[in-house]
């Protein structure tokens, strides 16, 4: 068995140097890239997760900006429990009821928190997820993606470096939201070819990488 519990992220390169057929131990908070998972299956490497019982020295919890309009309010409240389970802090930018409000106001607040660096990532929920995605992408440095299943969530992070996730509170279930959020937060942009393409996206509006 090889102990990699000290690593917060496991990439394909990490797996390639592990002997085939062995077990790799990581924590239940460790992120594993899709390419690393594929390499592990290919080389018959078992990944064993163990719970984190104490905070690692110097380890910082990610801070997620969250927001919703009236159509996404109830799902936003359910999202908080998911973030607690994952071990992320969050800052709630509202709204705080089902009274009608304008989604661009809250999408902008979430996007600005990410662009300015006060939050690491953002999640915004409205009725369909489309309008908030459009609004958030008007903020320089933000790459918002509306996701509706596991595949789109993984792709938006691994290939496009999305830093804001938008969801449709009226189009997906809470169960699907949990699946999407967990995958979105556990997937990272690691491949150089994808980083190069994302840099071109940022250059279109003069936005920096966040």
Q: How many Å apart are CA 165 and CA 9, to the nearest integer?
A: 21
CA-to-CA dists, residue 90 to 68, 79, 93, angstroms: 13, 10, 10
Whether 70 is a known active-site residue: answer no
**Strand-by-strand arrangement of the 23-27 sheet:** 2-3, 23-27, 46-50
Nearest to 106 by CA among 166, 157, 162: 166
Q: What are the φ/ψ torsions at residue 66 (nearest 5 degrees)?
A: -125, 150
Indicate which residue of 44, 70, 159, 194 is catalytic. Answer: 159
Active site residues: 159
């Amino acid at each position: 068995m090889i102990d990699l519990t000290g690593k917060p992220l496991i990439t394909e390169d990490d797996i390639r140097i592990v002997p085939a057929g062995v077990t790799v131990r990581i924590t239940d908070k460790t992120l594993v890239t899709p390419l690393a998972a594929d390499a592990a299956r290919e080389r018959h490497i078992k990944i064993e997760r163990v719970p984190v019982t104490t905070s690692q020295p110097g380890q910082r919890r990610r801070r997620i900006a969250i927001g919703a309009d009236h159509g996404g309010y109830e799902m936003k409240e359910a999202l908080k429990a998911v973030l607690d389970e994952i071990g992320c802090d969050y800052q709630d930018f509202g709204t705080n009821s089902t009274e009608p409000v304008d989604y661009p106001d809250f999408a902008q607040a979430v996007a600005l928190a990410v662009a300015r660096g006060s939050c690491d990532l953002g999640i915004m929920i409205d009725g369909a997820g489309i309008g908030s995605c459009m609004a958030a992408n008007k903020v320089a440095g933000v790459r918002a993606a509306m996701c509706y299943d596991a595949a789109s969530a993984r792709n938006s992070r691994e290939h496009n470096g999305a830093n804001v996730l938008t969801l449709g509170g009226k189009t997906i279930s809470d169960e699907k939201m949990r699946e999407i959020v967990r995958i979105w937060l556990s997937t990272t942009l690691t491949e150089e070819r994808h980083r190069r393409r994302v840099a071109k996206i940022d250059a279109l509006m003069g936005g920096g990488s966040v």
